[in-house]
Each structure stands twice: as structure tokens, then as C-alpha cells.
Amino acid sequence: MSRTLELAKDLISRQSVTPEDAGCQDLMAKRLEKIGFNITHLKNGDVKNLWARRGTEAPLFVFAGHTDVVPTGPEENWTYPPFEPTENNGHLYGRGAADMKGSLASMIIASEEFVKQHDNHKGSVAFLITSDEEGPATEGTVAVLEHLETTNEKIDWCLVGEPSSTNKLGDFVKNGRRGSLGVTLTIHGKQGHVAYPHLAQNPIHIAMPILDELAKTEWDKGNKSFPATSFQISNINSGTGATNVIPGNIEIVFNFRFSTEVSADILKECVINIINNYDIKYDIEWSLSGNPFLTEKGELIAATQKAIKSITGYETELSTAGGTSDGRFIAPTGAQLIELGPLNKTIHQVDENVSIKDLEQLSVIYTEILKNLLT
């Protein structure tokens, strides 16, 4: 068994459903301490965070990731128990195999190999690990960054181990993400009997033309790095449960995934302007999960592209597709940031799995990136 596979199985066996860590960070810290990392544990409520750094000089390269995983769903639907890592046909099965305990194992092994080969490397290597990525993400990476402010530590390069690959390892590297703005719109009507609509005001009927206009609006055209901003309705709730009652309210939940062509404030203003074209009573709540960010080509992207090409033999593509990650908190500090990890085909699914060969190769790619930047 390779060291990467062995460590990945150890991590997967720990039931760290968010915000639990289940000892994953202690395991990682012990490995890192042995090769010269200084360890800082930062606990916020139920959330555990780890900051581990080797070296005191700039530039500072950071591996970032999370030990928490999403719930398994009904375990009887899994071919193998989700927290009993199982090898089959060249793949490792278990919750977190791809998102992202496999990446964490590859990061640790890569760091051990790099230090073994380059004990006197330039700059510093660090790990920023949280158990709050799959949850609210309010007590994890954000809290560690606040700690780094107090210690005057500035991240130059950051590699987040999120599963970025699509069809083969390293075919895509995320160099940015769209922003995410959530909206809850409550439209108030007047409850009444369906047989006497003139005595009521149906909020569902009121909402329909508004939602139609929002759905048909072109928010921007995107740019060379980002697709056009998207608007999607995710939930609509109304009604009393009775067939003969006009409801008094309707609640609509929708989301914008937005490019750098617009801001959250611009989107808010546009939505309010559309709603205010209608004579209605309403309440609206906003939830900004993160602004869009983009890492332009520089040392980190060049080092990553070179490493992937040297190990796999093919070129990688840059992408900003997909959901949000904790990169949205780190990039605004001025760090160059990318996301590079295994295939994302089975993340959050039943029978989540990752190619064992890919895990081992990912570890080698991570090692090469460190060499390209810090030797």
C-alpha cells in the first residue's frame, strides 16, 4: 500500500461529518510536526482549525483544505459502508475520498517528500485546514485568516485541494470562482376563499410576472474568464394545504452566480427596480456567500501548469466553473490562488470514490509544484 493510499484510508475512516473533525487534524499535525512544521490549533465553538507552518520567510505557499465531509444519506444505499474505506477495481470508496480527504493525504505526502529532498528550501510551506467548509463556513477559514492578520503572516501562493478535475487528473485547474448571492423574496397578498377572489389578493398570481421578468433579464454577457451571470429559482413556498384557500404569502428563494462584470450591489439594485415596477407589498433578504475572484497568470499558475505537464504529459485548462469554495475568503487577501484536486464526478454522491492511481499521481504533482516555486 502506498503512503498516500494508507493516509487517505485513515482519514476517510474518521466520521468527520461537518462540523466534526474526528481527529483528522491531529493526525495531520503529528505528521507535519515530524518534518519541522510549527503547529497552531484554533478552535471556534464546534469547529476545529489547523495552521501549520514550516519556515518563517517569504514567499509563503499554503495548502488549504477541509477535513469535514457532507452527510452520507441512507447508508444502506452505499455499496460499501461510507466510513470503511474500501478498494475495488483501482478505486478507493468512502465519504470524502474525492472531497477532499484524498487531496489532504496527497498534500501531506507531497510535503514529506519535498522536505526530504529539499530540507533547506526557500520561503515557507503552510497548511490551512478547517472542519467548517461544508457547513456555514463562518468559523473556519475566515477565523484562521483573522489569526494570520494578528501574526502579520501574508499568503503569497495558495493551492486549495478541491476536486477540480473533470475527465482525467489535472485536465482542469480552477483559477477563480463566480460570486454567489442568495435572495429570499416574500410577497404579501391577502388570504381568502377561492370562490371569492375579489375579496382576496393572490400572491402567487402577483409573483408570476415578476419571476418571469427576472428569469428573462440579461444581467451581463460575461467575459473571457467568466460565463454570463445566471439567475436560478431554487424554492417556492406558498399555500395553506387546502384547495379552497387563496394563500396570504408566497416565499421565493433564488440565487445569482455572478461574474466580475457585475457586483452584488448592482444585482440588488436591479432586482429592487424590477420588483418596484409592481404595486406590491414585499420583504426581501440577501445572503452574499462570496464575491467572484480570479487569479491571473503568474508564478503559481505557471508552476502548476509545468508540474501537470511534466507528470501527466498533457496541458491543463484554466476554469472558473463550479460552486463556491473557501478560496473566496483567501483570494481577497491578495494571494495567488488555484484549486487542484481529483475528479469531481462522485463528490457528495452515494459511493463517492477516487482513482487510487490519481491520488498517488496528485501527490507527485503537488511535490513538483513545491519544487517549481521554492527551489
Instruction: Establish whether 20 is a catalytic residue.
Output: no
Q: Is 175 exposed, middle or buried (0-12, 13-18, 19+ CB in 10 A)?
A: buried
Distances (CA, A) of 264 to 127, 148, 258, 271: 31, 27, 8, 11
Instruction: Establish whether 68 is a catalytic residue.
Output: yes
- Of 20, 21, 68, 99, which one is the catalytic site residue? 68
Grid cell 503559481 is found at 300
Q: Are 64 and 52 in contact (CB under 8 A)?
A: no
Q: Are 125 and 51 in contact (CB under 8 A)?
A: no
- C-alpha closest to that of 306 among 253, 213, 369: 369
- Of 99, 132, 133, 352, which one is the catalytic site residue? 133
CA distance 263 to 9: 42
Q: Are 368 and 307 in contact (CB under 8 A)?
A: yes
CB atoms within 10 A of CB 64: 27
127-142 burial: b if 16+ Cβ within 10 Å, else e: bbbbbbbbbebebbbb
Residues forming the active site: 68, 133
